[in-house]
Structure 1
């Protein structure tokens, strides 16, 4: 088995097609087929089920994919590390919307001061997408909310964050002396889509109180939710870091809800088998300093 076998296998797995994998790798389809056959023969396993001209990874194929990705990444990291003095430092970072909107720019600015010729790529998306990219080695690390004990990912907590409920300052709920979670559940809720950390945390906290929520609006855009809230369409639930300037300016006001605390932590997350380049270590150190 060679690294070439593994790269062919990973491409076939990602594309679910030997023909497409061949085009992507600029080799013939028979060459791709032969490489997969050699892997299967070597270990006496079946890596793909071939049904109706489609490929479906077996459980063994799934296992090999995890190992192959990390082996390829380790070799790429080794080569990058050996050449770091003569080439640009590269860093592929993922971030949830809170980190991507508020924190990541400051971290990158400091990193660029240390490494002015560096090349940085950033993907901002919901945490479920980001963690999947980490597992596929498409990212070096990510800055997202704390996860629930993932077995294959390492978390390095570095920032305290909280989720707040905000409304227009003249919203009728501010007339109440005590606002309860039940009051919130009965209001028009303007929420992020499912799968985002802020939505999942809010739903979890409400569920613990025996309350089911049905959003009036759902949006992938925090700005759209903020504008809708300012126009009195309802109330929204967002990270404090994203709305703090609107609260400070008086455009929005936080609803203090009795018995509903939504504190969370942000973490630097990476795969447990990640090879640490100098660039990754620099970035992690900067995050902690900030």
Structure 2
């Protein structure tokens, strides 16, 4: 029968004997029988093909080979013990990976994360901003833990939770002459819109289709702030979440144009993959969304 391969437990036993210089004390400290400790060291010495302890009358001491072996295993044991001590905290040390739409990332998400960090000081986050389609794809691939999108989704693989809604508004430069337009007149203006596939664009285009109209923007952008800057420069009119332009409207840097018999809102929806393992951190964060 061959010699058993060295294992980590033997190393711990060896270190304890080296520390206490006594098999009986080492066995007591490790909650083991002296026989089990003796057998472990015997197997270790057989594998090393040399004696690691010199047996004295009432104690033991390391042989030169034993001293060398202790020097070799000590860093490994200390590293293992460091990891072992951190083990109960690993979940909290793993960042919560979040994909978010631009609107939520620019408005409510920072406050939400700050509030959660107050409840969970050790929590960390990784936030990336994507269009809805990419956020959903990353969620399904397991690249993010949860996603915030504009609009709604009906998909068997994800759990959806509406957490907010916001109105869309039409904005122009402060000096724009019109205070109110019909929807048809709006479409005749130079339009600065979000990109195709974005929730704001889809909501606006759906509204146009329902009225038998088509939308032809002169500027398309994935960045709402770029559209706001273009509107301020007098390049055209944009349709944006009111929450993003509230400050500009209050300060007079932008002007809201009312559209006759027209009103649109968009939802903010949180998504969680049903089949994904939910850490305590993720479950707590998901529950916090009910309080928004």
**Could you say which TM-score interval applies, normalised by the shorter chain?**
0.5 to 0.7
Shift of 1:139: 0.9
Please identify, of 156-165 and 271-280, the stretch whose mean Cα deviation from structure 2 is larger: 271-280
User: In the alignment, is the contact (CA less than 8 A) between 2:182 and 2:259 conserved in 1?
Assistant: yes
Q: In structure 2, what is the equivalent of residue 154 of structure 1? A: 159
- Count residues in correspondence: 206
Q: In structure 2, what is the equivalent of residue 287 of structure 1? A: 289
Secondary structure, counterpart of 1:256 in structure 2: strand
CA distance in 1, matches of 2:88, 2:291: 24
Shift of 1:151: 2.6
Deviations 1:54-106 (CA, angstroms, capped at 9, x unpaired): xxxxxxxxxxxxxxxxxxxxxxxxxxxx9554551431111001011111111
Larger Rg, first or second structure (1 or 2): 2
Correspondence for 1:144 among 144, 149, 153 = 149
Q: What stretches of structure 2 of length at least 5 have no aligned partner? A: 1-85
User: In the alignment, is the contact (CA less than 8 A) between 1:89 and 1:279 conserved in 2?
Assistant: no
Report the TM-score when normalising by structure 2: 0.66
Pair 116,211 (structure 1): closer, same or farther in 2 beyond 3 Å:
same
User: In the alignment, is the contact (CA less than 8 A) between 2:176 and 2:255 conserved in 1?
Assistant: no
Shift of 1:195: 1.4
CA distance in 1, matches of 2:156, 2:177: 46
Q: In structure 2, what is the equivalent of residue 199 of structure 1? A: 201
User: In the alignment, is the contact (CA less than 8 A) between 2:200 and 2:266 conserved in 1?
Assistant: no
User: In the alignment, is the contact (CA less than 8 A) between 1:141 and 1:270 conserved in 2?
Assistant: yes
The CA RMSD over aligned residues, in Å, is 1.8
Q: What stretches of structure 1 of length at least 5 have no aligned partner? A: 1-81
1:178-257 alignment, distance < 5 Å: 178-257=180-259
CA distance in 2, matches of 1:84, 1:261: 51
Secondary structure, counterpart of 1:93 in structure 2: strand
CA distance in 2, matches of 1:277, 1:199: 35
Secondary structure, counterpart of 1:268 in structure 2: strand
